[in-house]
Amino acid sequence: MKTKKIAVLAASLAMVFALFAFTALKNGSIKGRVSPSASATSVYITSGMDTMRTNIQNGDFEIGEVKPGTYKLVIEAIAPYKNFQKEGVVVSEKKATNVGEITLQQ
């Protein structure tokens, strides 16, 4: 009886893991480049109540595991540069959305 409970528990855990793995496979990403490379340190995206953030490394950024949808992209600049916002960034299943090079203004 104990072996059967362990088998059921193991099967349940495997199903939960598979569900999360399948969901992750459907997600996309947002990537781009900030110029000048030292003009900003972080970037985030928002959609409704969802917010995801990452650091900018040598001018490059990528936010992974983004659910398909439409987002607002915000780059947090370092003075004397100004923050940057872009509305309508669309993420599709299993695709990387490249926003290209974003040049920050002073």
Q: Look up the pTM and report it.
A: 0.75
The four Cα atoms 27, 100, 51, 96 give a dihedral, to 10 degrees, of 0
Q: Which residues of the chain have pLDDT under 50?
A: 16, 18-19, 21-24
Other Cβ atoms closer than 10 A to 63: 20
| Structure letter (DSSP) for residue 11 | H
> Do residues 56 and 34 make contact, with C-beta atoms less than 8 angstroms apart?
yes
Determine the pLDDT at residue 46.
Answer: 97
Q: What span, in angstroms and rounded, lies between the C-alpha atoms of 86 and 33?
A: 14
| The pLDDT value given to residue 26 | 87
Which domains, from first to last, does the chain contain? 28-103 (2.60.40.10)
26-47: b or e for each residue (b if 16 or more CB lie within 10 Å)? ebbbbbbbbeeeebbeebbbee
DSSP class per residue in 22-90: HHHHH-EEEEEEEESTTSEEEEEEEETTEEEEEE-BTTEEEEEEEPSEEEEEEEEEPTTSPPEEEEEEE
Q: What are the phi and psi torsion angles at 36 (to 5°)?
A: -60, 150
The pLDDT of residue 18 is: 47
pLDDT at residue number 4 = 65
pLDDT, residue 22, reads: 47
